[in-house]
Amino acid sequence: MRTLVLSFAAALIALPCAANAEQAIKLKSGAGVDKVEGNCQACHTLAYIPMNSPYLSATGWDAEVNKMIKAYGAPIDAEDAKAIKEYLSKNYGG
């Protein structure tokens, strides 16, 4: 019985955390948002964009996109990378 109560309590604690992980992120509309959604969320959540926006300027976003391509091997072509950088700088530049 004790195991059942502990399991139930653990489930009650974990469920709200799991529900938060399922929230859809709605990015600001604008030129390039399709490139961001198509490329960036292939590897990670789009929640990183608004979460980091207070800290990143155009230069910071440029560095982040370059890091994703060069350090992490994100398969983003040059045209898409340019559109992504412009979108992030314009819509989420801190």
Specify whether the CB–CB gap between 72 and 18 falls below 8 A.
no
Can you tell me the distance from the alpha carbon of 60 to that of 42, in angstroms, rounded to the nearest whole number? 21
Dihedral over Cα of 58, 64, 69, 74: its sign: negative
Inside any domain, residue 35: yes
Say which residues have a Cβ less than 8 Å from residue 62's Cβ, sequence separation at least 6. Answer: 85, 89
pLDDT tens digits, 65-88: 999 999 999 999 999 999 999 999
| Residue 23 confidence (pLDDT) | 74
Amino acid identity for residue 33 in this structure: V
Inside any domain, residue 19: no
56 secondary structure, DSSP code: -
Inside any domain, residue 83: yes
Inside any domain, residue 84: yes
More confident residue, 7 or 64: 64
Question: What's the pTM value of the predicted model, to 2 decimals?
Answer: 0.75
| Residue 24 confidence (pLDDT) | 86
| Residue 38 confidence (pLDDT) | 95
pLDDT tens digits, 8-56: 556 667 655 555 555 789 999 999 999 999 999 999 999 999 999 999 9
CATH number at residue 33: 1.10.760.10
| Residue 70 confidence (pLDDT) | 97
Q: Helices 58-70 and 78-92: crossing angle, nearest 10°? A: 150
Q: Quote the number of domains for the chain.
A: 1
* Structure tokens, 48: 């990183």
